[in-house]
Homo-oligomer: A and B are copies of this chain.
Amino acid sequence: MTEQTPHSATAAMTAAPGGRDPQETRALVDAELAPELTAGALVTDADVIGSYSQDEAIFCPGEGAVALVRATTIEDVQTTMRFASRHGVPVVPQGARTGISGGANAVPGCLLLSVEKMAEVLEVNTAERTVTVQPGIINQHLKDHLKPYGLSYPPDPGSVGISSIGGNVATNAGGLCCVKYGVTKDYVRQLKVVLADGSLATLGPRTAKGVAGLDLRGLFIGSEGTLGVVVEVTLRLVPQLADPLTAAATFPDEAAAASVVAEFMASGAQPSMLEMLDGATLVMLNDYGDFGLDADAGAMLLVQSDGSGDAATAQREVAAFSDIAEAGGALDVAASDDAADSEALVATRRLAHQAYEKYANEHGGGQLMDDVCLPRAQMAAFFDRLATLRAETGVVVAVVAHAGDGNLHPAVFFDVADDDQASRAHAVFDDLMQLGLDLGGTITGEHGVGYLKRQWLARELDPVTQQMHWAVKNALDPQGILNPGKMFAELQAAGG
Give chain A's interface residues, CB within 8 Å of chain B.
Answer: 125-129, 150, 171-172, 174, 178-179, 182-183, 185-186, 195, 199-203, 205-216, 218-219, 221-223, 226-227, 238-240, 262, 265-266, 268-270, 307-310, 312-313, 373-377, 402, 404-407, 440-449, 453, 456-457, 460-462, 464-465, 468-469, 471-476, 487, 491, 494
Contact present for B446 and A127 (CB under 8 Å): no
Contact present for A210 and B444 (CB under 8 Å): yes
Nearest-neighbor residue (CB-CB) of A182 within chain B = B186
Contact present for A471 and B464 (CB under 8 Å): no
Contact present for A441 and B205 (CB under 8 Å): yes
- A213-B373 in contact given A207-B406, A312-B310 (Cβ < 8 Å): no
Which A-B residue pairs are the 7 nearest by beta carbons? A308-B308, A218-B218, A239-B268, A127-B377, A475-B475, A471-B475, A208-B405
Chain B residues with Cβ below 8 Å from A449 are: 211-213
Contact present for B262 and A468 (CB under 8 Å): no
Q: Once bound together, how far apart are the Cα atoms of A444 and B440, in whole Å?
A: 37
Chain B residues with Cβ below 8 Å from A375 are: 125, 127-128, 206-207
Contact present for B468 and A201 (CB under 8 Å): yes
Chain B residues with Cβ below 8 Å from A308 are: 270, 307-310, 313
Contact present for A209 and B446 (CB under 8 Å): yes
- A469-B405 in contact given A127-B265, A127-B266 (Cβ < 8 Å): no
Of A172, A178, A268, A402, the most chain B CB neighbours within 10 A belong to A268
Chain B residues with Cβ below 8 Å from A128 are: 375-377, 406
Of B178, B179, B202, B214, the residue contacting A462 (CB under 8 A) is B202
Chain B residues with Cβ below 8 Å from A462 are: 201-202
Q: Once bound together, how far apart are the Cα atoms of A129 and B261, in whole Å?
A: 13
- A186-B183 in contact given A214-B222, A373-B208, A375-B128 (Cβ < 8 Å): no
Nearest chain B CB to A74's CB is how many angstroms away?
13
Contact present for A445 and B127 (CB under 8 Å): no
Further pairs besides A127-B375, A208-B404: 12, Cβ < 8 Å: A128-B375, A202-B465, A203-B465, A208-B373, A208-B407, A210-B442, A212-B461, A213-B461, A214-B487, A216-B219, A313-B313, A472-B475
Of B205, B210, B219, B445, the residue contacting A209 (CB under 8 A) is B445
- A178-B208 in contact given A239-B268, A475-B475 (Cβ < 8 Å): yes
Contact present for B212 and A405 (CB under 8 Å): no
Chain B residues with Cβ below 8 Å from A209 are: 174, 178, 183, 373, 402, 405-407, 442, 445-446
Q: Once bound together, how far apart are the Cα atoms of A285 and B406, in whole Å?
A: 49
Chain B residues with Cβ below 8 Å from A443 are: 212
- A444-B211 in contact given A216-B469, A468-B195, A476-B468 (Cβ < 8 Å): yes
Contact present for B212 and A457 (CB under 8 Å): yes
Of A211, A216, A307, A462, the most chain B CB neighbours within 10 A belong to A211
Nearest chain B CB to A127's CB is how many angstroms away?
4
- A210-B309 in contact given A199-B464, A215-B221, A239-B270 (Cβ < 8 Å): no
Nearest chain B CB to A280's CB is how many angstroms away?
23
Contact present for B218 and A185 (CB under 8 Å): yes
Contact present for A172 and B211 (CB under 8 Å): yes
